[in-house]
Amino acid sequence: MGSHRIAVMPGDGIGKETIREAMKVLRAAERNAKGAFKLETTELDWNSDYFVKHGRMMPEDGIQVLRGYDAILFGAVGDARVPEHVSVAQTILAMRRGLDQWANIRPARLLAGAPCPLKDKQPGQIDFVVVRENTEGEYADVGGNLFAGTPNEVAVQSAVFTRRGTERILRYGFELCRKRKKQGVGRGKLTSVSKQNAQRHSQVFWHKVFEEVRKDYPDIESGFLYIDAACMDLVRKPEAFDVIVSSNLFGDILTDVAGVVVGGLGIAPSANLNPDKAAPSMFEPVHGSAPDIAGKNLANPLAAVMAGAMMLDFLGEDAAARTMSKAVESVLADPKAPKTKDFGGNASTSEVGDEIAARLG
């Protein structure tokens, strides 16, 4: 029996509520697998309350502590008492960089019952994955300010693109595309999203590496789109995509558009992978702490539950991950099943979690 050590970090706001449901469903999946695997969980209270008490979002050796786990299930951070760039930098960005979680994976699949803002799109018609570089690019912490508070104030932020970072994310995208094609999910089509017509250093470099790497994958149909054109096409014809690979900032933009096209934040999960398995990967719903609905048991837990399923899959429990996703899909597709308000229902967060768990037996 495989045993997996999981660090559970619910964080702030609705993160606490949606991760509670994700854990409920993960426990049901564990029971459903009848001893095939075991989840040994530790809940970590590293959030904004912790910041108020200790002046930081996680202990000084937090990243070291996390290295002792096989995976991290993370909710969200965000609280009026902590500047957002501080809470995000000290948790999400610290984990991504400190644990070299260089591949951010966000699947976008239109499921029956999910609200799609585009007309005439059928369930199953939209099914693609955005692979976003997660540790460098435009989010590299390189820059500074001069003459703060004066009319001559200057801010400089540099993007960092390394050959290692660029090549490994593009290769990951091609490998994923190949895997999806083999599984009969995708069509073996990869789109590199860039902006080499306007950014003649970093993006020309990205595109050059793409042109090199694609030669190793003649079985994959590959091409590129500029970021602006890619955003338009995600709205106009999302069914045209299979695997998209892009830099950190462009990936951030693309995944928000992709998320909304298949039902919004209520159902968008993501994985921050260390594909080399040299450190734990982190799984999270895309949504933030949502202070407007926090503490009211109103948040949609599906994104956190799907993030839990991605975690099981990465841990090698792919059969359990599939069973968990199927349970979510059956609740979504059932007009009588409880749904939260964002999905047109009036059920609570915990009612939806209970229903998915019940369907796992």
Binding site residues, ligand ATP, CB under 6 A: 14, 18, 76, 78, 84, 265-266, 287-293, 299-300, 303, 340, 342
Residue (194 or 255) nearer to ligand ATP, CB? 255
Pair 32, 360: CB distance under 8 Å:
yes
Residue (209 or 258) nearer to ligand ATP, CB? 258
Both tokens of 351, joined, read 């009612």
Residue (303 or 309) nearer to ligand ATP, CB? 303
Tell me the closest approach of the beta carbon of residue 300 to ligand ATP, in angstroms. Answer: 3
Both tokens of 47, joined, read 């959030």
Residue (120 or 292) nearer to ligand ATP, CB? 292
Residue (220 or 331) nearer to ligand ATP, CB? 331
Name the 3-class secondary structure at 279: coil
Tell me the closest approach of the beta carbon of residue 343 to ligand ATP, in angstroms. Answer: 8
Tell me the closest approach of the beta carbon of residue 344 to ligand ATP, in angstroms. Answer: 12
Both tokens of 107, joined, read 């699947």
Pair 25, 354: CB distance under 8 Å:
no
Query: Which of 248, 171, 243, 236 minimizes the C-alpha distance to 202?
Result: 248
Cβ burial, residue 332 (10 Å; 0-12/13-18/19+) = buried
**Degrees to nearest 5, angle at CA 46 with 40 and 50:** 145
Cβ burial, residue 131 (10 Å; 0-12/13-18/19+) = buried
Q: Which one-letter DSSP state was computed for residue 90?
A: I
Both tokens of 6, joined, read 């999981």
Tell me the closest approach of the beta carbon of residue 265 to ligand ATP, in angstroms. Answer: 4
Query: Which of 301, 300, 320, 296 minimizes the C-alpha distance to 310?
Result: 320
Residue (73 or 176) nearer to ligand ATP, CB? 73
Cβ-closest residue to ligand ATP? 288
Residue (84 or 141) nearer to ligand ATP, CB? 84
- How far is the C-alpha of 95 from the C-alpha of 202, rounded, in Å? 24
Tell me the closest approach of the beta carbon of residue 320 to ligand ATP, in angstroms. Answer: 23
Amino acid at 108: A
Tell me the closest approach of the beta carbon of residue 351 to ligand ATP, in angstroms. Answer: 13
Tell me the closest approach of the beta carbon of residue 269 to ligand ATP, in angstroms. Answer: 11
